Structure 1
Amino acid sequence: MKKQLLLLLLLTIHLAKGQEIKELEVATEVDQATVFVTNAQVFRKGSVTVGPGITTIKFKDLSPFITPNSIQAKVNGGIAILSVTHKQEFSEKLEKPEELLKLEEESAKRERELALLTAKKSSIEEEIEFFTTNRNIGGDEALNIESFRQISEFYSRRMYQLRVDLLETEAKIEKQRASASELRNEINSISSIKNFASGSVLIKVESTGRNTVDVGLSYVVKNAGWLPSYDIQAADINSPVNLVYKANIRQDTKVDWKDVKIKLSTADPNTSGVKPELKTYYLDYSTPPPIYGNAIKQVSGIVMDEDGAPLPGASVIVKGTTIGTQTDFDGRYSLTLPDQQSSLVFNYIGFKTLTKPVYSETLNVMMSEDNQALDEVVVAGYGSNAKVRRSEAVAEAEFDAGSSPAPAPSPPLPVVQVRRQTAVEFDIDIPFSVPSDNTSYSLKIANYKVPADFKYVSIPKAEPSVYLTAGIWDWEKFNLLEGEANLFFENTFVGKTILDLRNAADTLQLSLGRDQNIVISRKKITDYSSTKFIGSKKEETRDWMISIKNNKREKVRIEVFDQIPVSTLDEISVELQEKSKGSIDQDTGYVKWDLDIEPGQTEEVRLKYAIKYPRNKRLYIE
């Protein structure tokens, strides 16, 4: 009986050893990355030899910002994938880098020097206070003139020297504080890089024999993205427009991308050159006419944390668009806005996403920490106990190694543009490196020479300026996105504008900024603007004169826009009495003049209309 039990025990141990799950680590680098406007999909590949039975393949040293349910894995050779598990792992003890140790030592030295200077300042202030409160140098004993003179001279010299020492010490303290603060910021920037977990993915597979297999892994990672920007260059009004299409890529995934095959996707898992737009003038009681001249075209500000410290590298994007920028080292940003009212979306690692409407040209924001996110990925400090956050996702066994595109004809970089069903992709054929430093790296992905129809446009009611515009046909084939554009005309930088595709029709109108050589004005003709009563009705007349002078050396073609109000009630009537050969859109009330003005000449157009409405009602008329 004892022999049988011993044999059974040995058999059980043997079976347990046979079923023991082996764990193999596979070292990989980021091989490909599809970068979206926000987030990116990262691809890794590796090779590993597995034995018969169940084996766990571990991808280590991954980003801590992986979206778990986006993980996809593939193992070839008929190997079955049993599960995919995502982990956030913290080391038992994080060793401080040598650079950080030196900075901390220098910081401690500067803090000691600051403390000594502060103590010296206190001592000087106490001595000054002592002399000030003991100015009665004679006391009860009378002093002769010579003694009084000597004491007075000593008092003056000593007080003068003390005040000079106080000023010098205060200056040294300010300098030392600035130096210590700069050093602390440098320490914080290095510490923030090190204080993140390391992500890992465990793939459990089952094999019937010993095989060397290729394994692939893809996942979506946060804190990455790209934004488009443009350079619009026009040599003169008789030459094609040169449109330089640029992609600004950034990532702070805590993993550097070295010589990576990058694909950009449009999918989403100081003087403004933006010309104004007319607003339909609806006429109704107690409804004021549209207001112009206060549209916000550029916004700037500072992004801070709850302690008032600047947040460098924060993402600032116009909500619902691909128009955006990043804050600089001091947390400052500046962004050109579309013509319509906008909201800004602020993002920063470890902070809650913040959306703010733009009500003024200055918008400072204070972001609050996302404690839940910090609990998941941030280490409390060096030498902390090990902590593991685990999230499991059994993923589909799919992995796309990507296509092999041919280079595009003569762009700045070999790029193939592919239009998908719901997005456009830019496949960059040359490997590119993007460090994890949240710095924006600019790539020229296309350069187009496009014929353009140049003309001048003005809406003097909104703004007494004339804008040069360029109309581009078939712009859809260029796969453009909304974004900021730098304007260059006649080899001179003339400002910024917005490539706003939301209002684009068959022809894309690019605003090339103001032309100061064409002067326009809009004035009310007082003699013909009046109010009178006719029976139960009140009639008000408005008469406007628009004057355009061409100070250029060549003839110009200009479109001038104005408007008459549009009535929404039967009892209110609007009669157009004069429009100087202009055309009118009856639905919107927009009036348009197409004018050709010779050099040095002045053209005038007139807009006159009358409004009748009940005399006992009040109507807001410009």
Structure 2
Amino acid sequence: MRHVLLSTALTLVAMPAIADQIDTTAPVRKVTLYPWGASVTRVADLSAPAGVHEIVIPGLPADLDASSLRLSAKGASIGAVSLQTGRALPKNPQKSEEITAAEAEVRRLENALAARDQKAALIEARAKAAQDTITFLLGLAENDGANLGDIAGLAGSVSQQALQAHETVVNAEAEARLAQQGREDEVAVLEAARARLEALQTPDEDAQTLVMSVETGAQPAQIEITGFTQNASWQPVYDLRLTTEEKQLELDRGLLVSQHSGEDWRGVELTLSTARPSDRSAPSELEPWFPRAENPPPPQPAAAPMARMKAESAYDDAMVNVEAVVVETAQARMMGATVVYDYPAPVDIRTGVDALRLKLDSQQLTPEIVAEAVPRRDSSAYLVADTTNSTQQVILPGEATLYLDGAMVGRRGLDLTAAGDDLKIGFGPIDGIQLERTVPEEAEGGRGFISKSNTRKETSVLKIRNLTAQEWPLRVIDQVPVSTQDDLQVDWSASPSPDETDPDGKRGLLVWNAPIAAEEEREITLTVDMNWPEGKDLLNGTN
């Protein structure tokens, strides 16, 4: 059993003794959904005589955070408030309007169903009476007491009356079938009404009950209750549709929302916020750093193999722990102003079902379409759309589905892209543009790769063949090593010379930009020469 007392944001006022207890409901009207968690606002409408009442709102979800509850009232003053779980409330001497209306609806539907069944029973009784008449007439016709002179008249009379009786049976059975049409629908509506009444009268045992003392005036009052639940989330999803002939890129923005609060949200006003109330709100704190310079410890005797392995393992474990702390504090987080989206229409979000996808809007971007070739890594060029975020809004991180000329070609994640930032999106390989990187033999019979103790020279050829029937804007990217030491000398040459070096600050990258015609084959020769002092080893970095 749990009993939680809440302090409201309002000033508590002294109130006279409570006059009565009123059960009511507070349906969810507004939801502000965060990437993790949701602020849920409920509204309870009161129409009660002026005075002090104990308002009881049962059926609140078990995950409702008591410390997050905030209450406000229009046309009423709120006194003591408690959120209760695990104990039965005292019997309610006065039914709420919702329960009264639910009971009346159940009675109305029961009476309507009974009237339908009565009508069908009367029709069936007519059919039964007609069938009995037929049986009687047939028995009368077979009576041995009838003389021959009456046979003709009796036969004609029985035939006429039997025909009328059969027609009555046929018509009655047809009317009975019509009377029964729609009965299943009425039964389903009645069962739903009974279920709603039962839910109002006997809330879930795991649910919570909000009890408050409220003083109302002569006019109807309204109480707004806002609380926080952890069991809800939203994330952006995107469809990117590129049409190469029109050179258009359409960005369809959508939302995936889900919640497991334990109750359905019906017809709510939905706001989506990029704020993260579940995350910490303050930056990390640094403690003073006091380095010390001390004499090194005396050399230790060599440890036995097993002891050395244990020591190394302990050292590795310590380093893993240190790295884990660094990774946790260095996680990327959103910075800047909070972005808020107001969904334009009321939404239904059921609890515990698959995520609901909602459409946000569509934006038109202006792409530059190129065939990007990286012969060092790939065997074919890729179709790439270079564009700018011209939506005047930030593009939030999310999963994107890619479509090229109407066909789905893949999925990828979109990074956070501020308004005006560049956006580069790949739409799959262009199989007709083939790539090859080779190290050819030299004229003297040697190889294009020469390595000595302190020298390394490599000549490579990048080959691009356009086997398609159209011209493509082509971007070829390769790299040369970058020296960060004075005694490591790196020289390179390329034919033809690259159009860009170190693009976007990426040192060592080379870029060639030029269209490639249909059926054209192109070669780029790249030579790299590295020299370093004798006695040192060359350690390759990432290439």
TM-score range (shorter-chain normalised) is: 0.5 to 0.7
1:83-98 residue pairs with structure 2 within 5 A? 83-89=80-86
Give the SS at the match of 1:69. helix
Matched, 1:71 2:69: yes
Which residue matches 1:565? 481
Q: Residue 548 of structure 1: which of 464, 467, 470 is its match?
A: 464
Contact map agreement 1:475 1:507 (CA 8 A) in 2: no
Matched, 1:37 2:46: no
Query: Quick one: structure 1 residues 18 and 596, their matched pair in 2 at CA, closer, same or farther if it must change by over 3 Å?
Result: closer
Query: What displacement does 1:74 show?
Result: 0.7
Which residue matches 2:371? 456
Deviations 1:462-489 (A, max 9, x none): 4334221222224352442221211111
> Which is worse superposed, 197-206 or 496-505?
496-505
In 2, Cα distance between equivalents of 1:33 and 1:430: 13
Count of residues in Structure 1 that have an aligned counterpart in Structure 2: 351
Query: What displacement does 1:421 show?
Result: 7.0
Q: Residue 422 of structure 1: which of 309, 315, 337 is its match?
A: 337
**Letter in structure 1 aligned against 2:365:** V
Question: Structure 1 unaligned runs (5+)?
Answer: 1-16, 93-193, 270-356, 358-419
**Letter in structure 1 aligned against 2:477:** F
Contact map agreement 1:466 1:514 (CA 8 A) in 2: yes
Contact map agreement 1:465 1:519 (CA 8 A) in 2: yes
1:143-154 residue pairs with structure 2 within 5 A? none
1:59-138 residue pairs with structure 2 within 5 A? 59-77=57-75, 79-89=76-86
Contact map agreement 1:63 1:255 (CA 8 A) in 2: yes
Contact map agreement 1:237 1:454 (CA 8 A) in 2: no
Deviations 1:322-380 (A, max 9, x none): xxxxxxxxxxxxxxxxxxxxxxxxxxxxxxxxxxx9xxxxxxxxxxxxxxxxxxxxxxx
Give the SS at the match of 1:481. coil
- C-alpha root-mean-square deviation of aligned residues, in Å? 3.2
Which residue matches 2:392? 477
In 2, Cα distance between equivalents of 1:563 and 1:587: 10
Query: Quick one: structure 1 residues 86 and 451, their matched pair in 2 at CA, closer, same or farther if it must change by over 3 Å?
Result: same
Query: Quick one: structure 1 residues 195 and 572, their matched pair in 2 at CA, closer, same or farther if it must change by over 3 Å?
Result: farther
In 2, Cα distance between equivalents of 1:256 and 1:461: 54
Q: Residue 452 of structure 2: which of 508, 532, 538 is its match?
A: 532
Query: What displacement does 1:21 show?
Result: 7.8
In 1, Cα distance between equivalents of 2:225 and 2:248: 46
Query: Quick one: structure 1 residues 58 and 545, their matched pair in 2 at CA, closer, same or farther if it must change by over 3 Å?
Result: farther
Q: Residue 520 of structure 2: which of 601, 613, 617 is its match?
A: 601
Which residue matches 2:501? 584
In 1, Cα distance between equivalents of 2:226 and 2:515: 60
Q: Residue 613 of structure 1: which of 522, 529, 532 is its match?
A: 532
**Letter in structure 2 aligned against 1:584:** T
Query: What displacement does 1:261 show?
Result: 1.9
Give the SS at the match of 1:517. strand
Matched, 1:233 2:150: no
Which residue matches 2:104? none
Deviations 1:479-515 (A, max 9, x none): 4222121111122221212222369973211221222
In 1, Cα distance between equivalents of 2:209 and 2:381: 59
**Letter in structure 2 aligned against 1:553:** A
In 2, Cα distance between equivalents of 1:562 and 1:601: 20
TM-score normalized with structure 1 length: 0.51
Query: What displacement does 1:580 show?
Result: 2.6
Deviations 1:598-617 (A, max 9, x none): 00111111222111112211
1:393-408 residue pairs with structure 2 within 5 A? none
Query: What displacement does 1:439 show?
Result: 1.0
> Which is worse superposed, 454-463 or 44-53?
44-53
Query: What displacement does 1:528 show?
Result: 2.7
In 2, Cα distance between equivalents of 1:427 and 1:53: 38
Which residue matches 2:24? 26
Contact map agreement 2:394 2:419 (CA 8 A) in 1: no
Which residue matches 2:352? 437
In 1, Cα distance between equivalents of 2:354 and 2:340: 22
Query: Quick one: structure 1 residues 503 and 530, their matched pair in 2 at CA, closer, same or farther if it must change by over 3 Å?
Result: farther
Matched, 1:217 2:232: no
Give the SS at the match of 1:614. coil
Deviations 1:523-571 (A, max 9, x none): 23462321235xxxx1111222211111222111122222222222222
1:159-198 residue pairs with structure 2 within 5 A? 197-198=206-207
Give the SS at the match of 2:68. strand
Contact map agreement 2:393 2:419 (CA 8 A) in 1: no
Greater relative contact order structure (CA < 8 Å, 6+ sep): 1
Contact map agreement 1:487 1:513 (CA 8 A) in 2: no
In 2, Cα distance between equivalents of 1:439 and 1:494: 25
Deviations 1:108-132 (A, max 9, x none): xxxxxxxxxxxxxxxxxxxxxxxxx
Query: Quick one: structure 1 residues 558 and 487, their matched pair in 2 at CA, closer, same or farther if it must change by over 3 Å?
Result: same
Identity among equivalent positions (%) equals: 22
Which residue matches 1:163? none
In 2, Cα distance between equivalents of 1:36 and 1:488: 29
Deviations 1:278-334 (A, max 9, x none): xxxxxxxxxxxxxxxxxxxxxxxxxxxxxxxxxxxxxxxxxxxxxxxxxxxxxxxxx
Larger radius of gyration: 2
Give the SS at the match of 2:240. strand
Contact map agreement 1:520 1:547 (CA 8 A) in 2: yes
In 1, Cα distance between equivalents of 2:532 and 2:235: 52
Q: Considering fraction of residues, name the structure with more helix.
A: 2
Deviations 1:19-45 (A, max 9, x none): 358543331211121222221221111
In 1, Cα distance between equivalents of 2:418 and 2:527: 29
Which residue matches 1:242? 250
TM-score normalized with structure 2 length: 0.58
1:261-276 residue pairs with structure 2 within 5 A? 261-269=269-277
Q: Residue 427 of structure 2: which of 503, 509, 512 is its match?
A: 512
Contact map agreement 1:575 1:609 (CA 8 A) in 2: yes
Q: Residue 199 of structure 1: which of 208, 214, 217 is its match?
A: 208
Query: Quick one: structure 1 residues 553 and 48, their matched pair in 2 at CA, closer, same or farther if it must change by over 3 Å?
Result: same
Which residue matches 1:58? 56
Deviations 1:67-95 (A, max 9, x none): 33322211123x44445443444779xxx
Query: What displacement does 1:49 show?
Result: 4.7
